Amino acid sequence: MTRRWLIVVPALPLLVVCLGGTHAAGENQATEPAGWAYALAAGAALTLLLRRRAPRAGIAAAALLTGAYLLLDQPYGPILFAGPAWAWCLTAAMPLRRAVPWLAGYVAVLVGSAAPQAVPEVGWGGLLVWATAVAGATAAGAATGFALAARQRSETAARAEVARRAVSEERLAMAQDVHDGVGHTLAVIAMHAGVAAHVIDRDPARAKELLGTLAATCREALNGLRADLDRMRQPTDGAARSPGPGLADLPVLLDRMRDGGLRLDVELPEPPPAQLSPAVGAAAYRIVQESLTNVLRHAGTAEASVRVRLDGNLLVEVADRGTGPAVAAPAGTGIAGMRRRAEAVGGSLTVGPRSGGGFLVRAELPARTVPS
C-alpha cells in the first residue's frame, strides 16, 4: 500500500501548490488568471505521475502545458515548479547524458513561449535573465536527482558487495570444515588401517578392534560430509553454520588417535570451562584436530603432546618431536585454516619449530567470542 501511494509524490504536493498559488501569483502581478490557467497548471503537475512509466512523454507534456500557459500570458506562478521537479525525476530515472537533451528542450520551449510577451515588456536582457533563472532552477533539480540516484546506486552496490563477501566467507568456512573433517578422517583411517595390517597375524583380536574403529570412523566421516554438503546446498539457512564440536568432544578425538597408535601426553581442563562460547570451543577443537592430523602426515613420529588450559585466555598447544617436512615448511591450507579460525574469534595462532626439535602449534583464544 505504501508503494502505491508513493506514485503521487511529488505530483500531489505540486498540484496543491499550483491550485492554491496561481491565484496569489495573479494578485501579485495584477493579472487575474483565466479559468483554463488552473487546468493547465494542474495538468503540468499531474504529468509527474508518468515519471516512472513514461518519463519522456511526461516531461514533453509538461513542457507543452507550461509553454501554452506562458504563451497565453498567464501570471508567472507555481506551474514553473514543474521544471525542477521533472529535472529531479528525469535524472533519477535515466543516465544524465540522456536526460540533458530533454531538459534543454524543456527550457527552450519555456523561453520560446515566454518571449512574445516578455520581450515587449522587459526586453531581450530581461528575457535572458529570466531564461538563466529557469535554466538554473532546472539544473539544480537535475543535480539533486543525479546525486540521489548516484547515492542509491552506491548503496545498492555496497549492499551487493557485502552480500557477495558474506557468501564468499561462508563458502570459505564450509570449505575449511570439509578440509578439516575429511582430511583428519582420512589420516586416521590410514593410521588405523596401517596398524591393523601390522598386527593382523599376531593379534587378530586387536586387528578386528581396529577395523571396527575404522568402520565407525568412516560412518562418522560420511555423516559429517553429508552435513557439510547440506550446508552448501542451503547456505542461507540460519541453522547451517553451527559451531560444531567443542572442548567436550576432545577426549573422543584423542582416544581415536590413541587407538591408531599415536602416543599422546594430554592436559585438559576438568571439567571443560562452562563460560566458553561454542565458537571458541569449536575453534580449539579444530586446531587440535588439524595439528594432530599434521603430526600423522608430516612429523614422522608417533608421539605428541596436547595442552589445553584456561589462564585468562584459553591456551591450546600441540607439540611433537618429529623431523618431517612440516617442521621445515610450516605452510599450507591446514595452518592457514587454523589461523583463520583463531582470528575469527579474536585470538591468535603461532606455529613453528621448537628449540629442542619438533614442531609447535600454539593458539591463544579469548574466553568469550569477540564480536566481528
Pick from 91-100, 219-228, 257-266 the range whose average pLDDT is largest.
Answer: 91-100
Q: How many CB atoms lie within 10 A of CB 138?
A: 23
Q: Averaged over 176-187, what is the pLDDT?
A: 69
In the chain, what are the domain boundaries?
2-160, 243-372
Confidence (pLDDT) at 325: 44
**Whole-number mean pLDDT of the chain?**
81
The hierarchical CATH code for the domain 243-372 is: 3.30.565.10
pTM of the predicted protein model: 0.50
Answer for the pair 137, 83: CB distance below 8 angstroms, yes or no.
Answer: yes
In the β-sheet with 348-353, what is the strand arrangement from edge to edge?
A: 263-267, 303-311, 313-320, 359-365, 348-353
The answer for residues whose C-beta is within 8 angstroms of residue 172's C-beta and 6 or more apart is 340
| 254-281 pLDDT tens trace | 887 887 678 889 998 877 676 778 888 8
Compute φ and ψ for 349, nearest 5 degrees.
-135, 135
- Phi, psi angles (nearest 5°) of residue 271: -75, 175
Which pLDDT does position 372 carry in this prediction? 45
**Residue 148: its pLDDT value, please?**
87
Once rounded to an integer, what is the mean pLDDT over residues 229-247? Answer: 62
Of the pLDDT bands very low, low, confident and very high (cuts 50, 70, 90), residue 349 is very high
Which secondary structure element, helix H or strand E, spans residue 149, and what is its range? helix 96-199
Question: pLDDT value at position 323?
Answer: 61
CB 350 within 8 Å of CB 356:
no
Instruction: For residue 313, give the 3-state DSSP assignment.
Output: strand
Local confidence band at 1 (pLDDT 50, 70, 90 cut-offs): very low
- CA-wise closest residue to 228 among 290, 278, 291, 181: 181
